[in-house]
């Protein structure tokens, strides 16, 4: 092969690379589709319920017109719910994605290592003991204390994250047991109040918690976006990642901290909602290709699932309301079983 033919060849390739732009638009179709789906699902959630609205009614309410009672129902009750679902769904899914990259295991989620059960424990203890701290701050505190405890007991994130996950399993179990213990020894009125925090519910999301969570989760999304390329490198073996200039230990700690913070923020709004962190990244990968780190798609899928689960929870058995965490568990556990019985081809 002479140099000339080589140059020609690479020129040809450059031309074909230009058609890559079209390919990339095509590849992003699922993301655009998910955005539209999110919009559709969000509008449906605003319209459907004990009092259902037409599209015209919703439109006029959102423009600030129409029946004040309906206006109150949509703006004060349904809208915060939908917004909370969008923010926390995205947060749980993002946290799941980060944890899966860290552990190189698509079953690894923040809830498996007990981050959310520990948040719940702190909230329940705080509520029953009558601490003058808002529940969402207790949830955040719980997540950090637990993550630090796991880090100390497991002596770092470890090479494959296995030790870390096992330690998390243990600490999560202890946290759940403590929640049960506290609930069983407390006055029934407190138990009712604390119950929502043990299953995950969007019934009365705190606006303050939602504000903090929105900003926090957005920030962690942007940070993750910046480190996307390094996260991709982490899909290779440690040796290759190090040789490509990735400080693997620092990146692991980074993934862990970001995942824990994001989980804690989401838990502080809705309480522990399982399976979103598992389903979000998995569905996004299926849509965009197994080797991609589908950040935006993961968050979108998480938000969509969360809105849908809450919508099902409050409409399926109306006037009885199922907490959102229960719905995701009912839908999520068969999926988890299916995932476990089906041998995955790769580790992530």
Partner 1 sequence: MASVHSDLPLHLMEASELSLGHDDTLIIERLSVRLQPGSISAIVGPNGCGKSTLLKGLSRILTPKAGQVLLDGKDVKQLPSREVAKHIGLMPQDNQAPDGITVRELVEFGRHPHQGLFRQWTKEDESIVNMAIASADLTDIQDRKLETLSGGQRQRAWIAMTVAQDTSILLLDEPTSALDLGHELEVLELIKRLNEQGKTIVMVIHDINMACRFADHLIAMVGGKIVAEGAPEKVIDKSLIRDLYKVDCDIVSQPGYSYPMIIPKTLCE
Contacts with partner 1 by CB under 8 A lie at 1, 3, 6-7, 9-10, 13-14, 17, 226, 229-230, 232-233, 235-240, 242-247, 289-291, 345-348
Q: Quick one: 95 or 233, whose CB is closer to partner 1? A: 233
Q: Quick one: 59 or 247, whose CB is closer to partner 1? A: 247
**Taking the complex as a whole, how short is the minimal distance between the CB of residue 163 and partner 1, in angstroms?**
15
**Taking the complex as a whole, how short is the minimal distance between the CB of residue 282 and partner 1, in angstroms?**
13
**Taking the complex as a whole, how short is the minimal distance between the CB of residue 314 and partner 1, in angstroms?**
38
Could you give the residue ranges of the DSSP H alpha helices within 48-161?
55-62, 68-72, 79-103, 115-129, 135-153
Cβ 99 vs Cβ 277: under 8 Å: yes
Q: Quick one: 36 or 244, whose CB is closer to partner 1? A: 244
Burial 62-91 (b: 16+ CB within 10 A, else e): eeeebeeeeeebbeeebbbbbbbbbbbbbb
Q: Quick one: 37 or 296, whose CB is closer to partner 1? A: 296
CA distance 239 to 279: 30
**Taking the complex as a whole, how short is the minimal distance between the CB of residue 345 and partner 1, in angstroms?**
6
**Taking the complex as a whole, how short is the minimal distance between the CB of residue 245 and partner 1, in angstroms?**
3
**Taking the complex as a whole, how short is the minimal distance between the CB of residue 1 and partner 1, in angstroms?**
6
Burial 101-136 (b: 16+ CB within 10 A, else e): bbbbbbebbbbbbbbbbbbbbbbbbbbbeeeeeebb
CA distance 263 to 116: 7
**Taking the complex as a whole, how short is the minimal distance between the CB of residue 296 and partner 1, in angstroms?**
17
Q: Quick one: 33 or 344, whose CB is closer to partner 1? A: 344
Q: Quick one: 59 or 290, whose CB is closer to partner 1? A: 290
| CA-to-CA dists, residue 45 to 41, 242, 306, 315, angstroms | 6, 46, 11, 10
Q: Quick one: 20 or 211, whose CB is closer to partner 1? A: 20
């Amino acid at each position: 092969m002479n140099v000339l033919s080589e140059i020609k060849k690479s020129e040809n390739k450059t031309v074909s690379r230009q058609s890559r732009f079209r390919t990339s638009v095509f590849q992003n179709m699922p993301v655009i589709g998910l955005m539209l789906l999110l919009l559709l699902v969000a509008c449906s959630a605003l319209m459907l319920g004990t009092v259902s609205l037409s599209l015209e009614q919703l439109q006029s309410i959102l423009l600030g017109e129409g029946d004040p009672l309906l206006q109150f129902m949509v703006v004060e009750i349904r809208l915060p719910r939908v917004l909370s679902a969008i923010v926390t769904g995205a947060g749980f899914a993002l946290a799941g994605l980060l944890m899966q990259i860290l552990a190189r295991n698509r079953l690894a989620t923040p809830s498996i290592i007990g981050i959310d059960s520990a948040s719940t424990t702190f909230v329940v203890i705080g509520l029953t003991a009558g601490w003058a701290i808002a529940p969402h701050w207790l949830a955040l505190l719980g997540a950090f204390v637990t993550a630090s405890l796991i880090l100390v007991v497991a002596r770092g994130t470890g090479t494959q994250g296995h030790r870390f996950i096992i330690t998390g399993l243990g600490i999560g179990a202890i946290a759940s047991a403590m929640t049960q213990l506290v609930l069983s020894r407390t006055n029934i009125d407190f138990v009712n109040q604390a119950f929502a925090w043990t299953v995950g519910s969007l019934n009365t999301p705190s606006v303050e918690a939602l504000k903090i969570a929105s900003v926090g989760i957005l920030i962690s999304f942007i940070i993750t976006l910046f480190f996307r390329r390094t996260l991709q490198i982490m899909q290779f073996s440690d040796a290759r990642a190090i040789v490509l200039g990735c400080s693997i230990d620092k990146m692991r700690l980074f993934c862990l901290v970001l995942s824990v913070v994001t989980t804690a923020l989401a838990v502080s709004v809705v309480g522990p909602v399982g399976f979103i962190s598992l389903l979000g990244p998995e569905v996004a990968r299926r849509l965009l290709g197994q080797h991609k780190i589908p950040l935006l798609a993961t968050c979108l899928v998480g938000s969509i699932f969360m809105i849908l689960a809450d919508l099902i929870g409050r409409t399926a058995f109306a006037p009885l309301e199922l907490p959102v965490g229960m719905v995701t568990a009912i839908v999520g556990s068969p999926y988890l079983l299916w995932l476990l019985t089906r041998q995955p081809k790769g580790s992530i």
